[in-house]
Amino acid sequence: MRIITLILTLLGLTCLGANAQCPAGQLEVQIDVTTDGWGFEGYWELVPGGNPCGSGTIFAGGNTTQLGCSGGTATIGNGYANSTTISEGPWCLTENATYDIKSIDDYNDGGTKYTVKIESFPIYSFTAVGTIDNFSFINSLPPELDASMLTLETSAFMEIGSIDVIGDAENLGATAITSLDINYSIDSGPTVTDALTGLNIAPFTEYNFTHATPWVPTVGGDYTLKVWVSNVNGSAVDSVPANDMITKQITIVGQTPNIISSYTYTGNTFAYTEIGNSTDAISIPMDLDFHPNGELWVVNLGLWNGTGSSGGTTITFYKPGEVGQQSLYRKDSNSKHFMALPTGLAFSLNGNFATSPSVYDANDNGGSPFTGPALWSSDSSIYAQPSGGNGSHLDMLHMSPYAMGIANEKDNIFWVFDSESNDIVKYDFVDDHGPGNTEHGDGKVYRYEDIVVDRIDLTTACHLAFDDDKKWLYIVDAGSLRVIRLDITTGTVGGTPSFTNYDGLATYQKVSGATQEVVVSSGLVKPSGIAVIEDRMLVSDNSNGEIIIYDISAIPATEMTRLQTGSAGVMGLEIGPNGKIWYVNTPNNTVNRIDPDSILPQALAVTTTLTNATVGSCDGTATANVSGGITPYTYSWNSFPVQNGVTATGLCAGNYIITVIDANGTSITANVVIGEDPLSIYDMDAGNLISIYPNPSKGTFIVQISGAGNQIGKSEIVVTNILGKLVYKASVKGSYTTVDLSSAEDGVYFVSLQNQWGKTTRKIIVSH
């Protein structure tokens, strides 16, 4: 026993009882190990920093029976349980010393997560990604006060308009954060500050924020967005100022010009220009889409033969259709599963894309219908690069066999044509699990079972497209020889879908009663591709190669003209950044662009979108949507004071006029009527239930959030006085928030809670 004690002392290690404390010079360390769905595959060791696995081992965990530092052969029933968190330790380790976690995975795909707690603070978190991973940590206490800017969720590519500055801050200190300022600037310009109070950000927890003042760029181009924290708990500087700021390059994408009139003009002729073919490795192309940066991506159907050669492929065209065009063929190492016979490809402004598989079982073993859309990064350092046995995919959800098309709504939210269940499914991947990983638990899936659709066959894609406002989803219901549209803002969530929840998601629900309309019901033989811009819709007919243009300003649509590509087999269809029509021809293995011999000038036009003011508040907004004319545009709202951006904010109920002038001096006006919404807005599924007490209050009161509203992680509390003046605003998490109005005057105030469930307002009386 003396020898053992001597060895432990030399290592700077003392074994702890359940409630023991460490001696001076040592700190208590505990490691929480969270397994993936194959816990038996993992083995790990805790060793002094710099030591190899097996040298000076402090602790060994996981499948110690079958695995070790050199791997082994793991079988079910050994090691840790699946999808479980195991707390190992605690140990007394030398303060300020470095230690290593050696992680071994038998299947070569990692997936085990390690959370290192030092004196109960979860300071470090590591996730294994491959066969052998090494994670180092320093055994030190956190600083007393340290707010860190963690991530910026605002996409790297955004469209002109009102843009929310969204991100995550993290408390890396030992003290709870009760107040801080979130600041941002554009191209080192003026600082825009959102002062947040009434917070309770516990140590080593994240805080998701949406800045109170949106950024409203009016011109496309590249911008530098800087976001930083300051004034943490009233302190001018926190302990680690180096992590206070984060910078991101944002590209504002200009509006796609609507030149469809140049295709319906009878005086024009058209060139059908071949942009790519089999020499670029195009083979059975099913769909195409443009990256926000202008790259053109084409997805090939690929093979399905049960070998490693199975799976779809992509071709990326750089400078498509221009002098110096180049193409790049790529196939992910496990596209057999994650890109199995893809029918569609859709890009998000965040640079990710998703594909839809037209197979029954992506495992190809005669098992259950285990497949669905996969999420990918377009980053060349990630996509189709080695990352373990699961390829480079970012995420996958397995509830749509025979998926015949896909469209992006926003962020990581995609809509899928599910021809196995004959319905439309909304997939929200939320946060991806990283390249080649396996965690799918945060996904959210909503199945629209009463939107009944059907395919023609498994070789004809049924594509989908959103309108400009992302309100209507247009769907090629090929098996019914029609086009329908779905209002995604309607429907009631509730009930369990009939298709099995193979991913074990916490959020998997039906949506019933959504508004649907028949857009086209005749004149189609084998419809496939679709694109929408403003009040025009394009549909490709695979049977004869026609591209049909419709006027959708009224429903049902009116056919305007048919473009004759001259060859059957047209599938995916897209309107490019310059407004021209692009398509793929599947049997010809080509991607093509249609060039009219003249581009007709477009009349200057403006429409508006708005949000009403809340009763007693001047919080309405209005946005001008301009097309035609010559850019750039200038804007003038007759609000008080006059506003000159594309979006006017802080509007009271009333009538307003927006005047738009283009670069030629042509002007156009539009009237906007801002109404008033009632104080209490219906919350879907009673998601927001709030209580305020005491009421009346002497100035300090509690806002309690119950129902689903306290589960979603982000809500905003806004307090206004009887005149609508803002007196308090804070982004909050959790169930309880303390609001301090002790410096406010006596009177009636309105407390509003807003989150994804909607908005709920309550009245409180302050009497000191």
Task: Please check whether the domain covering 605-677 is classified as CATH 2.60.40.1080.
Answer: yes
Show me where the domains of the chain are located.
2-138, 147-253, 261-596, 605-677, 684-766
Question: What pLDDT sits at residue 757?
Answer: 63
Interatomic CA distance for residues 735 and 732, integer angstroms? 9
- Residues contacting residue 680 through CB under 8 Å, at least 6 positions apart: 760, 761
Interatomic CA distance for residues 300 and 403, integer angstroms? 15
Interatomic CA distance for residues 658 and 608, integer angstroms? 9
Options 2.60.40.10, 3.20.20.70, 3.40.50.10190, 2.160.10.10; CATH for 147-253 is 2.60.40.10
Residue with tokens 């390690």: 114
Question: What pLDDT sits at residue 294?
Answer: 95
Tell me which residue of 734, 671, 740, 729 sits closest to 706, measured CA to CA.
734
- Residue 418 token pair: 């599910």
**What superfamily in CATH does domain 261-596 come from?**
TolB, C-terminal domain (2.120.10.30)
Interatomic CA distance for residues 123 and 32, integer angstroms? 12
Cβ atoms of residues 581 and 593 within 8 Å:
yes
The helix/strand/coil state of 337 is: helix
Q: Which CATH class is domain 684-766?
A: mainly beta
Low-confidence ranges of the chain (pLDDT < 70): 1-20, 306-308, 388-389, 439-440, 616, 678-689, 706-713, 722-724, 756-758
Provide the β-strand partners of residue 168: 151, 208
Interatomic CA distance for residues 20 and 264, integer angstroms? 81
Residue 278 CB coordination number (10 Å): 10
Interatomic CA distance for residues 695 and 766, integer angstroms? 8
Same fold across 2-138 and 684-766: no
Interatomic CA distance for residues 61 and 577, integer angstroms? 54
HEC per residue, 39-97: HHHEEEEEEECCCCCCCCCCEEEECCCCEECCEECCCCCCCCCCCCEEEEEEEEEECCC
Interatomic CA distance for residues 465 and 409, integer angstroms? 9
The upper half-sphere exposure of residue 91, i.e. CA atoms within 13 Å in the direction of its Cβ, equals: 23
Cβ atoms of residues 637 and 622 within 8 Å:
yes
- Residue 380 token pair: 């060349």
Tell me which residue of 214, 253, 162 sits closest to 647, measured CA to CA.
162
- Residues contacting residue 169 through CB under 8 Å, at least 6 positions apart: 147, 148, 149, 150, 180, 182, 201, 206, 207, 209, 229
In which order are the strands placed within the sheet that holds 620-627?
Answer: 605-611, 620-627, 647-651
Interatomic CA distance for residues 254 and 293, integer angstroms? 11
Strand blocks (E) in 602-725: 605-611, 613-614, 620-627, 634-637, 647-651, 654-661, 667-674, 676-677, 689-693, 700-706, 715-721
- Residue 23 token pair: 């001696």
The upper half-sphere exposure of residue 525, i.e. CA atoms within 13 Å in the direction of its Cβ, equals: 11
Cβ atoms of residues 717 and 753 within 8 Å:
yes
Interatomic CA distance for residues 221 and 90, integer angstroms? 53
- Residue 656 token pair: 């307003």
Residue 461 CB coordination number (10 Å): 33
Interatomic CA distance for residues 316 and 340, integer angstroms? 19
Q: Which CATH class is domain 2-138?
A: mainly beta
Question: What pLDDT sits at residue 308?
Answer: 60
Tell me which residue of 93, 119, 77, 131 sits closest to 15, measured CA to CA.
93
Q: How far apart, in Å, do the first and last CA atoms of the chain sit?
A: 68
Cβ atoms of residues 729 and 719 within 8 Å:
yes
- Residues contacting residue 554 through CB under 8 Å, at least 6 positions apart: none
pTM of this prediction exceeds 0.85: no
Chain centroid to CA 700: how far?
37
The amino acid occupying position 536 is: R
Interatomic CA distance for residues 403 and 421, integer angstroms? 9
